[in-house]
Every structure is written in structure tokens, then in C-alpha cells.
């Protein structure tokens, strides 16, 4: 017993020990990630926001963020969420790869069977959220305008092809570029699992390095030739997805302290140098995920905090799908106010509105399936 205790203590001294996540813990992480995303999607529309290095790199953005923090520390929530909040999307890519690998990889489902399962899981929320958008915007700006300008673009976003149409990527709902990217991930994931059975982790290392090479080489070409951004596709997120699969294949991972420190240094450098920005998403998650797990573990023990995070995590799909269009008109009003406090409190109100809307959407979905189940039982 003493030797076992000593061994555990030595391992903790050597680094952070990653262990498999529980379902509740994954919901907690989803909750934090979706709050990051919603805050970013709202606050980066505010005047004076520094921008973000999400789909492209510009060292001036971090300089503007640091300058803003120096000049007005009270504006830190807006500046930090505007610049860093988009990394919540990377947490979602990691959790998707991690969770699906834990659930399916051992059984190696057939490609078509896996696709239909994912569509049945994902598309009810997409369809209801799209209908919610049409109703919301119809009342807000007029039905004829919505029907004339948005329906075709919305349909292309729903089926995931808008990522290949430059004018359609963010229209009509900005965050829905993610639908195309995650659907592409579903298409290739069964092939990755089969390759892993034959070649092992070498497949993941190839995807990790290959993704970075594609970012460096192909990214510039397709942008110059076709005005398309590689980060709007799964090709720009292969590293994070490979990381999620790699962790899912292990019950326990020792991350040395020196590697965690190096990842922090590399991530900081990735805000200033393009060469380090390429791997910055992966190195960020190396230290961000342990940090978030520690924070969520602490907050999850508090009754109300744990319940709130669990709810947000369970609603995360609807929160993601609906926050993009529920920004208006409140964001337009907040943009006219220059005070830092306005952007902060309106963002809190916005998140509350989106949460109520997401609850309504989920309730509708459950009732629809309940009626269908009774009818066809």
C-alpha cells in the first residue's frame, strides 16, 4: 500500500495524469466551451474589438488586444472573449473525436450505418433551429425578405456545402460553417478507425503533421485561387481531431510538466508568429483541457454550479445553432454604446436569451418525437 501511494505521488510530481472522462464531465466541458463561443460570437461585433486569429493569422490582432487591456483593464471581458473565445470550437472538435471514438471505434461500424446514426442525432436540432431562424427573422425583418435572401443559403448551410461557396460560408447564420466541417469529419472518421486497427497510432501522427502541412501549403493556394479558407473544412482541424482520437484510445496519459510548460510557451508564441500559430490549437488543448477539467471538477461539486453546467452542456448543440441569429437586434443596439459595461451586461442578457430559446427548441424536439413514437409504436 505504501509503495503504491509512493508511486502515485511520484507520477503526480512527474506531470499531469489524464484519465478518461465521465459523461457529466464531458457536459461540463461542453458548457464552458459553448459559453466561450457565445461570448465570442457576440462580443467580437463590438466596436474596437481586436479581431481573432481563428481562420487566419495577423500579429496585429494580439497587439490590439494587449493595447486595449493596457488602456482599459475594465474592458478585459470583451477583449479576451473577442480574441480567445473562438477556441471553444476546438474543445468541441476534441470532444467530438474523443466521444465518438470511445463509443464506436471498438465495434468499427459500417460507414453508412455510422453516417445515418449521426444524421439522426444531429439533424433534428439543425432542422428545428433553421425553422426557428426563419420564424424569428420573419417577424424581425419581414417574411418576404427572409424568403428571398436567406432560404437557399440556409439550405446549403444545413447540408454542409456552403463551406465551398465563399459568399455563403457565413450567410445567413455565421457559426453554421461548423456544420459542414463536422459533417466532413463524420464522413472520414470510420476510415480513420479502420486504418488505426491496421497501422496503429502512426495514422494519427500522419494526420497531425499532414494537417499542419496542408495548412502551410494548400491553405494559401485554395485561398488565392478559389477564395476558400481551409479552416472552414475539416482539413484545418485534423490536428485537434487526431488528438481527441489519440486520448480516447488510452485510459490514462501522463503529460510531463515540461511539455505543459512548452505548450504554454508555444501557444503564446503562436499569437505573434505564423509558424507557431499553425500548431497552436493542439498545443493550447494540452494545457487548456487539464485546466478546464480542474475548474469544472471544483465547480461541479457546487450544487447550483454543477446543475447549471450540466444544463448548458446538454443544450450545447442548440445553443451553438441558435446563438448566431439571436444576436440581433441586441448586438446592434450595444454597438452604438461605447461603454465597456454595456457590452458586458448585454452579453450576459444575450446568453440568457439563447439559453431560454434553446430550452424551447429542445422541448419541441422531445414532444415531436414523443408524438411520433406514440403514432408508430
For 208-232, how does the pLDDT look when each residue is reduced to its tens digit (9 = 90+)? 999 999 999 888 899 989 999 999 9
> For residue 220, with 0-12 CB atoms within 10 Å meaning exposed, 13-18 middle and 19 or more buried, which class applies?
exposed
pLDDT of residue 246: 97
Residue 11 is assigned to a structural domain of this protein: no
pLDDT of residue 284: 96
pLDDT of residue 4: 46
- DSSP tally for the chain: helices H, then strands E: 18, 2
Low-confidence ranges of the chain (pLDDT < 50): 2, 4-5
**Cβ–Cβ under 8 Å, residues 95 and 106:** no
Residue 40 is assigned to a structural domain of this protein: yes
Residue 7 is assigned to a structural domain of this protein: no
- Around Cβ 353, how many Cβ atoms within 10 Å? 15
pLDDT of residue 312: 97
Domain count, the chain: 1
Q: What angle do CA 85, 90, 93 make, to 5 degrees?
A: 145
253 DSSP β-pair partners: 18
Residue 276 is assigned to a structural domain of this protein: yes
Q: To the nearest whole number, what is the mean pLDDT of the chain?
A: 92
Distance (Å, rounded) from C-alpha 142 to C-alpha 151?
Answer: 13
Residue 5 is assigned to a structural domain of this protein: no
Comparing CA positions, the residue from 90, 96, 73 lying closest to residue 33 is 90
pLDDT of residue 100: 96
Residue 53 is assigned to a structural domain of this protein: yes
Residue 324 is assigned to a structural domain of this protein: yes
DSSP structure string for 251-308: SEEEEEHHHHHHHHHHHHHHTT-HHHHTTHHHHHHHHHHHHHHHHHHHHHTSHHHHHH
Q: Which domain holds residue 297?
A: 35-376
Residue 368 is assigned to a structural domain of this protein: yes
pLDDT of residue 12: 61
Amino acid at each position: 500500500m505504501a509503495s503504491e501511494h509512493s508511486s502515485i505521488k511520484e507520477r503526480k510530481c512527474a506531470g499531469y495524469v489524464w484519465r478518461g472522462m465521465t459523461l457529466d464531465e464531458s457536459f461540463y466541458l461542453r458548457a464552458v466551451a459553448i459559453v466561450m463561443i457565445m461570448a465570442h460570437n457576440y462580443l467580437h461585433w463590438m466596436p474596437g474589438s481586436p479581431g481573432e486569429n481563428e481562420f487566419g493569422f495577423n500579429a496585429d490582432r494580439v497587439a490590439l488586444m494587449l493595447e486595449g487591456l493596457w488602456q482599459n483593464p475594465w474592458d478585459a471581458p470583451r477583449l479576451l472573449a473577442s480574441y480567445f473565445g473562438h477556441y471553444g470550437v476546438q474543445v468541441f472538435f476534441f470532444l467530438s473525436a474523443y466521444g465518438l471514438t470511445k463509443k464506436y471505434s471498438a465495434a468499427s461500424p459500417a460507414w453508412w450505418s455510422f453516417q445515418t446514426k449521426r444524421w439522426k442525432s444531429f439533424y433534428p436540432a439543425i432542422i428545428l433551429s433553421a425553422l426557428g431562424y426563419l420564424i424569428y427573422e420573419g417577424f424581425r425583418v419581414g417574411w418576404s425578405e427572409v424568403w428571398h435572401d436567406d432560404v437557399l443559403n440556409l439550405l446549403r448551410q444545413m447540408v454542409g456545402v456552403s463551406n465551398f461557396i465563399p459568399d455563403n460560408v457565413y450567410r445567413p447564420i455565421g457559426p453554421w460553417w461548423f456544420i459542414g466541417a463536422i459533417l466532413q469529419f463524420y464522413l472520414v472518421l470510420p476510415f480513420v478507425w479502420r486504418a488505426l486497427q491496421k497501422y496503429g497510432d502512426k495514422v494519427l501522427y500522419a494526420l497531425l503533421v499532414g494537417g499542419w502541412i496542408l495548412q502551410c501549403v494548400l491553405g494559401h493556394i485554395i485561398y488565392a485561387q478559389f477564395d476558400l479558407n481551409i479552416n472552414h473544412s475539416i482539413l484545418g482541424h485534423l490536428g485537434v481531431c487526431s488528438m481527441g482520437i489519440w486520448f480516447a484510445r488510452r485510459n490514462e496519459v501522463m503529460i510531463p510538466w515540461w511539455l505543459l510548460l512548452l505548450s504554454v510557451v508555444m501557444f503564446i508564441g503562436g499569437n505573434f508568429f505564423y509558424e507557431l500559430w499553425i500548431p497552436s490549437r493542439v498545443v493550447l488543448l494540452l494545457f487548456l483541457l487539464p485546466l478546464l477539467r480542474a475548474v469544472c471538477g471544483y465547480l461541479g461539486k457546487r450544487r447550483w454550479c454543477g446543475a447549471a453546467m450540466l444544463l448548458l452542456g446538454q443544450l450545447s448543440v442548440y445553443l451553438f445553432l441558435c446563438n448566431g441569429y439571436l444576436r440581433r437586434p441586441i448586438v446592434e443596439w450595444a454597438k452604438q454604446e461605447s461603454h465597456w459595461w454595456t457590452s458586458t451586461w448585454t452579453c450576459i442578457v444575450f446568453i440568457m436569451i439563447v439559453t431560454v430559446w434553446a430550452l424551447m427548441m429542445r422541448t419541441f424536439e422531445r414532444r415531436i418525437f414523443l408524438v411520433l413514437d406514440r403514432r408508430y409504436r
